[in-house]
């Protein structure tokens, strides 16, 4: 082979490589593989710029265990499977972060969360199956029967768009189906940049959603001995203790998380709070859950870390008494309203007559509150926000029903 042809071959090869390089460089970054060097440099670059723009974001991150363990900005912000990509100052980031950006490193926890009512059932409580894939519905139904396969809540139609978006969704989107095929968010309890167990263990974190007359858990907790002790001794507790080795020496006063999620004294952390619940207390008439005995045993085991069996059994016996009595009271009220419908005295869609609201408030506010109060140490909620208004509304229902029957000439 002559020198000439070798020279031409080398020139052509070089030209091809150069062309490929230039073409590749012209492609948007979004289309190119994420360079691993970027992962290494990311935190420095992202932080340098964003510390000037939003100091708080970078500062919160710097306080996290993630920062101490070398998890950098891009490891969360890079597009996870199924996410839209966006060029961003020399990096490729995702336009929207979801539980999908955490599961890569916390898959086991994501799977537990998926089984919980904080996932698909929370969303389905508003919109029913809409937005969920059949696979997601089937999966959730295996663990939470009736939680997902149901129609949208009547308030979706009645109250409409903005009330749903700025109201219901703010709490129930903890289980929203995401465009990338995942469900929900982890940041409702951990925040975006602290990824903190301390924050997740604070009652005020759960109280973002668990409050108000229909689920007064924070109000009940605050008046309970546990809440009083937390208020008094919060600064003595080691709220940062690693979950895997958390003991009652770190937290000798329980918060919501201790009873419902923590793995105190080796019991094992769970992201499915249903595991320790034996009744469906949020229902109008509360029935036992399929895992009644196992769930009750698990919760009692948590109590046992700080109490003797006599006290625990007394609480459960008394609370189960309240469940039974509340069921009877709600049933009486329910019979009044269904009787009116059966006899044609009450017509029209749900929530079209004043009496519908009296009945709804009776079980949804008073009934629930008395049951929750009984299990979690809220005497005032069992009585003055529970049984007393239930009694009052029952009288009101009876009188409204008699009046309606008189109007329709169907007096009993």
Residues numbered 203 to 222 that lie near ligand HEC (CB under 6 A) are: 203, 205-210, 212, 215, 217-218, 221
- One of 29, 115, 149, 260 touching ligand HEC (CB under 6 A): 260
Binding mask 100-139 for ligand HEC (x = CB under 6 A): -xx-xxx--xx--x---xx--xx--xx-------------
**164 contacts: CB under 8 Å, gap ≥ 6:** 126, 155, 156
- One of 155, 291, 325, 383 touching ligand HEC (CB under 6 A): 155
Q: Of 99, 150, 145, which is closest to residue 127 (Cα–Cα)?
A: 150
Q: Alpha-carbon distance 214 to 222, whole Å? A: 16
Place of tokens 């916390």: 106
Place of tokens 């008699």: 402
Q: Which helix (H) or strand (E) holds 241?
A: none
- One of 120, 200, 340, 400 touching ligand HEC (CB under 6 A): 200
- One of 120, 137, 256, 401 touching ligand HEC (CB under 6 A): 256
Overall size of the chain counted in residues: 412
Asked if residue 148 binds ligand HEC (CB under 6 A), the reply is no
Looking at beta carbons only, is 312 or 345 nearer to ligand HEC?
A: 312
- One of 30, 229, 285, 345 touching ligand HEC (CB under 6 A): 229
Residue 298 burial (10 A CB sphere; 0-12, 13-18, 19+)? middle
Binding mask 263-302 for ligand HEC (x = CB under 6 A): x-----x-x-xx--xxxxxx-------------x--x--x
- One of 128, 303, 332, 405 touching ligand HEC (CB under 6 A): 303
271 contacts 261 by C-beta, under 8 angstroms:
yes
Looking at beta carbons only, is 377 or 389 nearer to ligand HEC?
A: 377
Residue 289, CA atoms < 13 Å, CB-side half-sphere: 20
- One of 29, 79, 83, 91 touching ligand HEC (CB under 6 A): 91
Would you call 279 helix, strand, or coil by DSSP? strand
Asked if residue 351 binds ligand HEC (CB under 6 A), the reply is no
- 336-369 b/e (C-beta count within 10 Å ≥ 16 → b): bbeebeeeebbeeeeeebebeebbbbbbbbbbbb
Asked if residue 385 binds ligand HEC (CB under 6 A), the reply is no
User: For the chain, what is the total number of helices (H) and then of strands (E)?
Assistant: 24, 2
Asked if residue 195 binds ligand HEC (CB under 6 A), the reply is yes
**13 contacts: CB under 8 Å, gap ≥ 6:** none
**Cα angle vertex 279, ends 273, 282, to 5°?**
80
Looking at beta carbons only, is 47 or 401 nearer to ligand HEC?
A: 47
Minimum CB separation of residue 191 from ligand HEC in Å reads 8
Which of these segments, 7-15, 166-174, 330-338, 404-412, binds ligand HEC (CB under 6 A)?
166-174
Which residues 50-69 are close enough to bind ligand HEC by CB under 6 A?
A: 50, 53-54, 57-58, 61, 65-66, 69
Query: Tokens at residue 233, please?
Result: 């001794």
Asked if residue 183 binds ligand HEC (CB under 6 A), the reply is no
Place of tokens 């959603």: 209
Q: Alpha-carbon distance 248 to 319, whole Å? A: 25
Asked if residue 97 binds ligand HEC (CB under 6 A), the reply is yes
Looking at beta carbons only, is 136 or 296 nearer to ligand HEC?
A: 296
Looking at beta carbons only, is 117 or 149 nearer to ligand HEC?
A: 117
Q: Of 358, 346, 344, which is closest to residue 394 (Cα–Cα)?
A: 358
Q: Alpha-carbon distance 260 to 217, whole Å? A: 12
Asked if residue 252 binds ligand HEC (CB under 6 A), the reply is yes
Asked if residue 374 binds ligand HEC (CB under 6 A), the reply is no
Looking at beta carbons only, is 291 or 332 nearer to ligand HEC?
A: 291
Looking at beta carbons only, is 30 or 109 nearer to ligand HEC?
A: 109
């Amino acid at each position: 082979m002559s020198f000439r042809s070798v020279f031409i071959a080398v020139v052509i090869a070089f030209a091809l490589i150069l062309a490929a390089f230039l073409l590749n460089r012209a492609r948007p970054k979004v289309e190119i593989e994420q360079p691993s060097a970027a992962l290494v440099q990311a935190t420095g670059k992202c932080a340098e710029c964003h510390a000037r723009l939003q100091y708080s974001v970078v500062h919160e991150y710097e306080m996290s265990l993630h920062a101490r363990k070398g998890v950098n900005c891009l490891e969360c912000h890079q597009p996870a499977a199924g996410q839209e990509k966006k060029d961003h100052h020399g990096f490729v980031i995702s336009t929207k972060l979801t539980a999908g950006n955490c599961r890569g490193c916390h898959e086991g926890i994501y799977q537990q969360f998926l089984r919980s009512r904080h996932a698909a059932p929370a969303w389905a409580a508003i919109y029913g199956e809409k937005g969920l894939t059949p696979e997601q519905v089937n999966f959730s139904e295996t663990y939470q029967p009736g939680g997902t396969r149901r129609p949208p809540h009547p308030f979706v139609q009645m109250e409409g768009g903005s009330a749903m978006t700025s109201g219901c969704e703010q709490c129930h989107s903890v289980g929203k189906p995401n465009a990338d095929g995942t469900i929900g968010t982890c940041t409702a309890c951990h925040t975006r940049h602290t990824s903190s167990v301390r924050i997740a263990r604070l009652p005020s974190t759960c109280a973002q959603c668990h409050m108000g007359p229909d689920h007064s858990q924070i109000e009940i907790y605050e008046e309970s001995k546990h809440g009083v002790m937390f208020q008094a001794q919060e600064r003595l507790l080691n709220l940062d203790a690693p979950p895997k080795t958390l003991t009652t020496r770190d937290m000798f006063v329980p918060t919501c998380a201790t009873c419902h999620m923590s793995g105190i004294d080796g019991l094992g952390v769970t992201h499915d709070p249903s595991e320790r619940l034996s009744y469906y207390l949020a229902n109008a008439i509360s029935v036992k859950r399929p895992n009644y005995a196992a769930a009750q045993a698990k919760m009692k085991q948590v109590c046992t870390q700080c109490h003797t069996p006599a006290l625990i059994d007394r609480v459960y016996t008394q609370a189960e008494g309240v469940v039974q009595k509340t069921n009877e009271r709600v049933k009486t009220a329910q019979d009044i309203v269904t009787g009116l419908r059966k006899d044609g005295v009450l017509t029209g869609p749900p929530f079209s007559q004043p009496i519908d609201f009296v009945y709804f408030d009776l079980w949804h506010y008073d009934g629930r509150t008395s049951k929750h109060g009984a299990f979690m140490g809220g005497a005032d909620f069992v009585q003055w926000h529970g049984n007393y208004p239930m009694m009052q509304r029952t009288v009101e229902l009876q009188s409204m029903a008699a009046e309606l029957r008189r109007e329709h000439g169907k007096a009993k």
